[in-house]
A and B are shown apart, each in its own frame.
Chain A
Amino acid sequence: MAGLANVFGYGAMTNHQNDIRNSRSIMIIGMNPAENHPISMQHILTAKEVNRALIISVDPRFTKTSAFANKYVRIRSGTDVAFVYGLINIILANGWEDKKFIAERTYDFETFRNEIAKYDPDTASDITGASKEDLLWVARTLAENRPGTVIWAMGGTQHNHGTGVVRTYCHLQMVLGNMGVPGGGTDVFRGHDGIQGVTDVGGGPETLPGYYGVGETAWKHWAKVWDVPYEWLLARFKSKAMMEKPGFTVARWYEGVLLDAKELGQEANLKAVFFMGHSTNSMQQMDRVKKALEKVELIVDIDPFVTNTAVLPDRKDGIYLLPAATNYEAAGSATNTNRDLQWRQKIVDPVYESRPDLTIMVDLAERLGFKKQFIHNMKGDWKGVPATPMSEKDKYVKALPEQTIEDVLREINMGCLSIGYVGQTPERLKRQQEWGHVFDIKTKKAVGGPVDGEQWGLPWPCWTDKHPGSAILYRTDIPVAQGGAGFRAVWGPTAPDGKTMLSADGSAPKDGPTKGYPAQKDYAVDLTGESIKLALAEGRNPYGNGRARFNSWNIAADPFPIHREPIHSPRPDLIVKWPTYDDVKEHYRVPQPYKSMQKPEWVKSFPLILTTGRVVEMEGGSAPQRTSSWLVELNPEMYIEMHPKVAADHNLRHGEMCWVETPEDMDAKPSRIKVKVKITKRVGPDTVFLPFHWGGVFEGNSLAHKFPEGTAPFSIGESANTVTTYGYDRVTQMQETKTSLCRVKKA
């Protein structure tokens, strides 16, 4: 997300999944939609059949998706920058770039061209393992079949330079002029069904809702939304500095427990950890997570299922499991990867003693003493939440009336002006639900009825309650009133080098100024919405009309992405030429070493590349899925994918058990897991693959006895993350779970 935001202005998928039906080429790189976004394959395969779109799959594994590709290119995990820049090198060498687009709508192509020179086909081929012919073929296919889309997900981001990788995908689309057109775009398929919404409302530690950051302006804006004095908010923090400092991320919170407090970006160690719909077996270096869970004073796990968290630590008390209701037991809106919002009805009342997350949060706010402020904007009936003191009667009232949940969305509508979360009112969403049948499958636009002209899901930015939403971002061939836009003018009107950051004449949404223009003053903080309306009245996009950046100068470590060998690289020679970053003293409150962690000699004792990922039957930590007899029947146990040659070299047969061992990292102790061998040519002879969905077994020992009675899932197994190693993105701190080194041994 940071990668996209730093190029175009918004950290989200630019087009939508249905729009892939308009593509003529589809490069799927570092994503496996056949397993991880099955429904999207409907659109991808339709494009292939009806449009004769060419599908290219770039992946270290021949995945279920690769099976549908016209071309499969196997690359070494962690080398996407070299691959994509290698493609751009060929495109530029042949003059296949979209010169008009580059000149009018991008910034600093000249320096970029020099950077690209480093990735000549020989170099790119040497780094990635893809042949020069394949590079040429892919470059040519993308050039000759426009518009094309680039689709990625975790294969691109889970690297020490993942943000850089994402920017290269964006750059490729800029060079090809594939941005802002139907069938084009940078289509990152986001993970959970509502994960885009979670990011939008400030799920990350570096921002308040709506990507306002955590600076003073941001706090003041939200203080206004919540109708509390800024000073009251300030007083709840230790200091203004701490208030404006990003917190820990989910990737490395445990170091806040384990490291010496002196090494941390705050005075004291973490004392409590509070999980709300997240499993510990999805966290890299799970052996360290285990230690942290044993040391921390309090653990709260709010989840409909008993997750790995409950059984992982060796401790007797201090773990509280609060049963959460599922999305079927509560109403509310969710925002998917297309930036579409959808209203969801409650299907059943919460079962047993489970409660929806919101009621739990309100209770928590109450115990922490700010319930009044917390529910200020929720005008609905509050019967659902127990009053203090809790009466016997209230104790079991579990669901909130729908009105309350609507108020939550209204608060988002009020505050998240920056990304145009304004027009997605509960009323409009419910109306769309009713009129779902009038939306066109290809454009997602309604034809007729009271929703006429609206985009399905009112994808943000949806500037007013009359705006149809913006299904495709940065599209200049339609007026702003219909969802048109330039790139976001978020870096001011001029770059540090004095060049303009506003788009050239002629590249602007229809029916407005033809030249670039800066953002409307105060559009993101004017709660009256007048600033936004002012801009719209003149056919201007409130966020301005700027340029997409080749040069992201604010990312100091690499304004232009650079190929960086994984921390655990199998190529000592390339570590010298393409090293990782310098060590960082503090990043999200923890030290983040790079170079000092990158050991060229590891490959000698750990010769295989280890990559991890997903399978269709499971989801994330998979506490729910491993509790379903039908899914477990389809995919019963943890395994390792291994090429026949690797298996033969280690005297392993299909179905036998083996140990997977990885190098020591932060705790100077190698880790290992015992898993079943699956022999397959999905992986090449240099790579092994582990799905990360299992839990309940740790380094060969079953933890089944630790589940509360009757809650153990049907399938338990070793967690891949017991052996995943140190390595985190330089910007987002995303874990480097896609590339490590390991060795296997017969068990």
Chain B
Amino acid sequence: MAQAQTTIPYREAGGPQGKAEPARMKFYVDVKRCIECGGCEVACKNENNVPPGIARIRVVTINEGEAGETNIAVPCMHCSKAPCVAVCPVDALYHRPDGIVALNKETCIGCGYCLYACPFGAPQFPKGSAFGARGVMDKCTYCAGGPEVAFSEREKRLYGSNRIAEGKLPMCASVCATKALIAGDAEEVANAVRQRMAARGAGGGAWGWDSAYGKGL
């Protein structure tokens, strides 16, 4: 039932055979731009009704107050060869055709295995239930809802909004104050990285890129 409901964004240009091919959605986390304003964190919570204690995206600051202070916004990167997908015993995590790593909360057993597999610490668990059990996992959906009928009550309750089906980009990237967080199809995102690399005469500051998508743009 799952994937059948999904609305997948397509590339306009079309694939190698001239056929339209699914987009490949990625994140560009530019550490040279993020000012730790928290806008993405709050907007995500508002958009997806994320309960306190869970952060689908969070901003990490290193060297606070000293030279080299750097902020990194960490959502789920929707990795190409996602370790979380590989280890999930129940296939609750799966790749959509557009590369988004989606979650099925109806099958997740809440084992936490994905949390260990993920290099970014993206999977989250609600705290404080009986026996220290953590309920099912929650993570960034790329604002693409879940394997339910798009825009249904059920989808909203379990996963939050489905902006992708609405033809919009993720909320966090849309509100980013400095365009430090960029979301979209791999081609556009790579262009943004290239542009910034060119302007800066050096790196694009794309943190976590290699781990999430492999080397190269």
* Chains A and B share a contact (CB less than 8 Å): yes
Across-interface contacts of A41 in B (CB, < 8 A): 35, 177-178
Tell me if A34 and B65 are in contact (CB < 8 A): no
Q: Is residue B70 within 8 Å, beta carbon to beta carbon, of the partner chain? A: yes
Say how far B80's CB is from chain A's closest CB, in angstroms: 28
Q: Across the two chains, which residue of chain B brings its CB closest to A36?
A: B37
Which of chain A's residues 655-688 have a Cβ closer than 8 Å to chain B? 680-683
Tell me if B38 and A64 are in contact (CB < 8 A): no
Q: Is residue A67 within 8 Å, beta carbon to beta carbon, of the partner chain? A: yes
Tell me if B41 and A681 are in contact (CB < 8 A): no
| Alpha-carbon gap, A680 to B46, bound state (A) | 30
Report the interface size for chain A: residues with CB under 8 A from the other chain: 28
Say how far A274's CB is from chain B's closest CB, in angstroms: 33
Tell me if B45 and A681 are in contact (CB < 8 A): no
Q: Is residue A49 within 8 Å, beta carbon to beta carbon, of the partner chain? A: yes
Which of chain B's residues 178-200 have a Cβ closer than 8 Å to chain A? 178-179, 196, 199-200
From A42, A67, A681, give the contact of B178 (CB < 8 A).
Answer: A42
Say how far A497's CB is from chain B's closest CB, in angstroms: 48
Across-interface contacts of B69 in A (CB, < 8 A): 62, 64, 66-67
Tell me if B65 and A68 are in contact (CB < 8 A): no
Given contacts A42-B177, A630-B46, A681-B66, contact A64 B36 (CB under 8 A): yes
Tell me if B178 and A35 are in contact (CB < 8 A): no
Across-interface contacts of A72 in B (CB, < 8 A): 67
Tell me if A62 and B65 are in contact (CB < 8 A): yes
Across-interface contacts of A49 in B (CB, < 8 A): 32, 196, 199-200
Which of chain A's residues 34-51 have a Cβ closer than 8 Å to chain B? 34-35, 38-39, 41-42, 45, 49-50
From B33, B36, B52, B67, give the contact of A616 (CB < 8 A).
Answer: B36
| Alpha-carbon gap, A11 to B66, bound state (A) | 35
Given contacts A42-B179, A49-B200, A633-B52, contact A616 B37 (CB under 8 A): yes
Q: Across the two chains, which residue of chain A brings its CB closest to B30?
A: A45
Tell me if B35 and A38 are in contact (CB < 8 A): yes
Q: Is residue A617 within 8 Å, beta carbon to beta carbon, of the partner chain? A: yes
Across-interface contacts of A42 in B (CB, < 8 A): 177-179
From B37, B46, B66, B178, give the contact of A62 (CB < 8 A).
Answer: B66
Say how far A451's CB is from chain B's closest CB, in angstroms: 25
Which of chain B's residues 33-60 have a Cβ closer than 8 Å to chain A? 33, 35-39, 41-42, 45-46, 52-53
Say how far B177's CB is from chain A's closest CB, in angstroms: 4
Across-interface contacts of A45 in B (CB, < 8 A): 32-33, 178
Q: Is residue B64 within 8 Å, beta carbon to beta carbon, of the partner chain? A: yes
Across-interface contacts of B37 in A (CB, < 8 A): 34-35, 38, 616
Q: Across the two chains, which residue of chain B brings its CB closest to A34?
A: B35
Tell me if A681 and B65 are in contact (CB < 8 A): yes
Say how far A715's CB is from chain B's closest CB, in angstroms: 12
Across-interface contacts of B53 in A (CB, < 8 A): 633
Q: Is residue A347 within 8 Å, beta carbon to beta carbon, of the partner chain? A: no
Given contacts A38-B178, A42-B177, A62-B66, contact A631 B42 (CB under 8 A): yes
| Alpha-carbon gap, A39 to B175, bound state (A) | 10
| Alpha-carbon gap, A629 to B38, bound state (A) | 13
Which of chain A's residues 66-115 have a Cβ closer than 8 Å to chain B? 66-68, 72
Across-interface contacts of A68 in B (CB, < 8 A): 35
Q: Across the two chains, which residue of chain A brings its CB closest to B37?
A: A38
Report the interface size for chain B: residues with CB under 8 A from the other chain: 26
Across-interface contacts of B64 in A (CB, < 8 A): 680-682
Tell me if A630 and B41 are in contact (CB < 8 A): yes
Given contacts A41-B35, A49-B199, A616-B36, contact A682 B65 (CB under 8 A): yes
Across-interface contacts of B196 in A (CB, < 8 A): 49
| Alpha-carbon gap, A574 to B161, bound state (A) | 61
Say how far A405's CB is from chain B's closest CB, in angstroms: 28
Across-interface contacts of A683 in B (CB, < 8 A): 65
| Alpha-carbon gap, A45 to B42, bound state (A) | 23
Tell me if B45 and A630 are in contact (CB < 8 A): yes
Given contacts A49-B199, A617-B38, A629-B52, contact A38 B177 (CB under 8 A): yes
Say how far A304's CB is from chain B's closest CB, in angstroms: 18
Q: How many interface contacts (CB-CB < 8 Å) are there between A and B?
A: 65
Across-interface contacts of B178 in A (CB, < 8 A): 38, 41-42, 45
| Alpha-carbon gap, A62 to B64, bound state (A) | 9
Tell me if B65 and A38 are in contact (CB < 8 A): no
Say how far B9's CB is from chain A's closest CB, in angstroms: 22
Across-interface contacts of B46 in A (CB, < 8 A): 630
Say how far B148's CB is from chain A's closest CB, in angstroms: 25
Tell me if A680 and B65 are in contact (CB < 8 A): yes
| Alpha-carbon gap, A561 to B196, bound state (A) | 42
Q: Across the two chains, which residue of chain A brings its CB closest to B180?
A: A45
Say how far B29's CB is from chain A's closest CB, in angstroms: 15
Tell me if B177 and A39 are in contact (CB < 8 A): yes
Say how far A64's CB is from chain B's closest CB, in angstroms: 6
Say how far B164's CB is from chain A's closest CB, in angstroms: 23
Q: Across the two chains, which residue of chain B brings its CB closest to A631?
A: B42
| Alpha-carbon gap, A26 to B41, bound state (A) | 29
Across-interface contacts of A682 in B (CB, < 8 A): 64-65
| Alpha-carbon gap, A407 to B217, bound state (A) | 55
Say how far A68's CB is from chain B's closest CB, in angstroms: 7
Say how far A632's CB is from chain B's closest CB, in angstroms: 9
| Alpha-carbon gap, A682 to B46, bound state (A) | 31
Across-interface contacts of B66 in A (CB, < 8 A): 62, 681
| Alpha-carbon gap, A34 to B52, bound state (A) | 25
Across-interface contacts of A38 in B (CB, < 8 A): 35, 37, 39, 177-178
| Alpha-carbon gap, A65 to B69, bound state (A) | 10
Tell me if B42 and A634 are in contact (CB < 8 A): yes
Say how far B196's CB is from chain A's closest CB, in angstroms: 7
Across-interface contacts of A630 in B (CB, < 8 A): 41-42, 45-46, 52
| Alpha-carbon gap, A682 to B64, bound state (A) | 7
From B35, B41, B67, B179, give the contact of A634 (CB < 8 A).
Answer: B41
| Alpha-carbon gap, A59 to B53, bound state (A) | 34
| Alpha-carbon gap, A62 to B67, bound state (A) | 9
Query: Residue-by-residue, is B142-178 near A (CB-CB < 8 Å gives 1, otherwise 0)?
Result: 0000000000000000000000000000000000011
From B41, B70, B200, give the contact of A67 (CB < 8 A).
Answer: B70
Across-interface contacts of B67 in A (CB, < 8 A): 72
Q: Across the two chains, which residue of chain B brings its CB closest to A52?
A: B201
| Alpha-carbon gap, A41 to B52, bound state (A) | 28
Which of chain A's residues 594-632 have a Cβ closer than 8 Å to chain B? 616-617, 628-631
| Alpha-carbon gap, A125 to B187, bound state (A) | 52
Query: Residue-by-residue, is A528-546 near B (CB-CB < 8 Å gives 1, otherwise 0)?
Result: 0000000000000000000
| Alpha-carbon gap, A39 to B46, bound state (A) | 20
| Alpha-carbon gap, A633 to B59, bound state (A) | 13
Tell me if B35 and A64 are in contact (CB < 8 A): yes
Which of chain A's residues 5-59 have a Cβ closer than 8 Å to chain B? 34-35, 38-39, 41-42, 45, 49-50
| Alpha-carbon gap, A77 to B44, bound state (A) | 37
Q: Across the two chains, which residue of chain B brings its CB closest to A66?
A: B69
Tell me if A634 and B33 are in contact (CB < 8 A): no
Say how far B59's CB is from chain A's closest CB, in angstroms: 9
Say how far A687's CB is from chain B's closest CB, in angstroms: 12
Q: Across the two chains, which residue of chain A brings its CB closest to B36?
A: A64
Across-interface contacts of B71 in A (CB, < 8 A): 64, 67
Across-interface contacts of A62 in B (CB, < 8 A): 65-66, 69
15 new A-B contacts, CB < 8 A, other than A49-B32, A67-B71, are: A38-B39, A42-B178, A42-B179, A45-B32, A45-B33, A62-B65, A64-B36, A67-B69, A616-B38, A629-B52, A630-B42, A630-B52, A634-B41, A680-B64, A683-B65
14 A-B Cβ contacts within 8 A?
A34-B36, A42-B177, A45-B32, A45-B33, A49-B199, A64-B69, A64-B71, A65-B35, A616-B36, A617-B38, A630-B46, A630-B52, A631-B38, A682-B65
**A residues within 8 Å of B by Cβ?**
34-35, 38-39, 41-42, 45, 49-50, 62, 64-68, 72, 616-617, 628-631, 633-634, 680-683
**B residues within 8 Å of A by Cβ?**
32-33, 35-39, 41-42, 45-46, 52-53, 64-67, 69-71, 177-179, 196, 199-200
Closest 10 CB pairs of A and B: A67-B69, A682-B65, A38-B177, A34-B35, A681-B65, A38-B37, A49-B199, A680-B65, A630-B42, A630-B45
